Amino acid sequence: MRRMSSLPTLENCGMSDQLGVGIETSNSFRSTCFHSYCENGEWPKEVKRLSEQDFSEIRRWKKPTDFVYKNPALRLKYSEADKERILALDNDFAFLDLDSKLTQEELQKIPNLMTAGHLDMAWDVPEHDLIVISDIKSSVFAVKDRCESLQLHAYGLAYSLLKGRSKYITGIWDASDGKHYYGNITETNTFDFEAIKERIRNACNNNSDKYTKGTHCGGCWKRDSCPAHLVDMGDENRFSKLFNGTATEADIREALVAAKGLGELANKVSEHCKDWVKRHGPVRSEDGCKSWQARLRSGRKSLNQEQVMADLGVDSLEKYMKQGEEYLVYDWLLVK
């Protein structure tokens, strides 16, 4: 059994499902606490099980507003959404009705279970033969493919089967910005959709026992805990203590010095890659679907303060200036 949340990374790396298991469990529990707060106005007692960092983050999340879609015209209320339901598909893409309280270990023991996951919220719109899926993310930019993520397509297919609908819309609630994002309507009874099902099947059957590095690593949210991505530098044990939680102050000090050198090396490597592209042209990804190349970008717009002061007839714009929030900066400082 493969988790639906891992399907986007499993398309490229069969070992990715072994990474970030604790993180995914924590993310699921964060959503549970957040939904409870949105519905009751109070944080549940269980929120104490979250780390200080996790709780600090979800306290800044914004409660989902109505999901609005233009064609067909939809306005779906958060209070009426189906929340935290487990969805599961067997090897023949049939829906499996499972208990939402089953653990990952218990799910792994279910015969013929291909993939399963807990959706954040969904709506059934029978008058349009349609269902709507919306996944809560800290930021829409946390998802490489945005609303076309294979995770969301798996949710869409499973929930469509549950409700007996032939179409679905995939969406993301950006909890930090408080904004809904959504994709196009996907029809499940088309030849094009068969390609999505094939991607789901291939991801679930990717049983490679080796980490696969490539251009896809840049869009993988699990790379921060991936040994192939982090420590494949010739000296593979160099930073091991940082990642297994046993680092001392001396280890951190050495790591900071090493990180500066690695950053400088990375810059040099990047500059050489840019020079190569200038001479030889774009670098194609392994599947040929993307290329790394240069492109012109418009310069940033800026406010002509002198012109504004002249137009307003003032000598200073100080009273119009807004002070940003404080933020952390890490650097070496002299100890007094």
In 129-236, beta strands by DSSP E: 130-137, 167-174, 179-187
d(CA 224, CA 22): 13
- Per-residue confidence (pLDDT) for residue 28, from 0 to 100: 80
Whether the pLDDT of residue 236 is over 60: the answer is: no
- Per-residue confidence (pLDDT) for residue 254, from 0 to 100: 87
246-256 pLDDT, tens digit per residue, is 788 888 888 88
Whether the pLDDT of residue 156 is over 90: the answer is: yes
Position with higher pLDDT, 280 vs 153:
153
204-232 pLDDT, tens digit per residue, is 998 888 887 776 776 676 666 677 765 44
- Per-residue confidence (pLDDT) for residue 142, from 0 to 100: 66
The count of C-alpha atoms lying within 13 angstroms of the C-alpha of 121, restricted to the half-sphere facing its C-beta, is 25
Whether the pLDDT of residue 64 is over 50: the answer is: yes
Token pair for 266: 């990375």
- Per-residue confidence (pLDDT) for residue 115, from 0 to 100: 94
d(CA 7, CA 282): 29
Whether the pLDDT of residue 233 is over 50: the answer is: no
Question: Taking each helix axis from N to C terminus, what angle separates 150-163 and 191-204, rounded to the nearest 10 degrees?
Answer: 110
Token pair for 40: 């009751």
Is pTM beyond 0.75 here? no
Q: How far is CA 190 from CA 150, 166, 187, in A?
A: 17, 10, 6
- Per-residue confidence (pLDDT) for residue 50, from 0 to 100: 85
Query: CA nearest 117: which of 32, 202, 237, 4?
Result: 4
- Per-residue confidence (pLDDT) for residue 235, from 0 to 100: 47
Which of 17-21, 154-158, 260-264 has the largest mean confidence? Answer: 154-158
Cα of 92 vs its chain's centroid, Å: 27
- Per-residue confidence (pLDDT) for residue 334, from 0 to 100: 81
87-140 pLDDT, tens digit per residue, is 999 999 999 999 888 888 888 889 899 999 999 999 999 999 999 999 998 877
Token pair for 330: 């890490």
DSSP code for 327: -
186-195 pLDDT, tens digit per residue, is 999 999 899 9
Rounded-to-5 percentages of helix, strand, coil across the chain:
45, 15, 40
Position with higher pLDDT, 230 vs 159:
159
Confidence tier at 54 by pLDDT (50, 70, 90): confident
Cα of 122 vs its chain's centroid, Å: 18
Identify whether the C-beta of residue 61 lies closer than 8 Å to the C-beta of residue 36.
Answer: no
SS3 158: helix
- Per-residue confidence (pLDDT) for residue 22, from 0 to 100: 57
d(CA 143, CA 135): 11
Confidence tier at 279 by pLDDT (50, 70, 90): confident
Query: CA nearest 133: which of 117, 116, 153, 114?
Result: 153
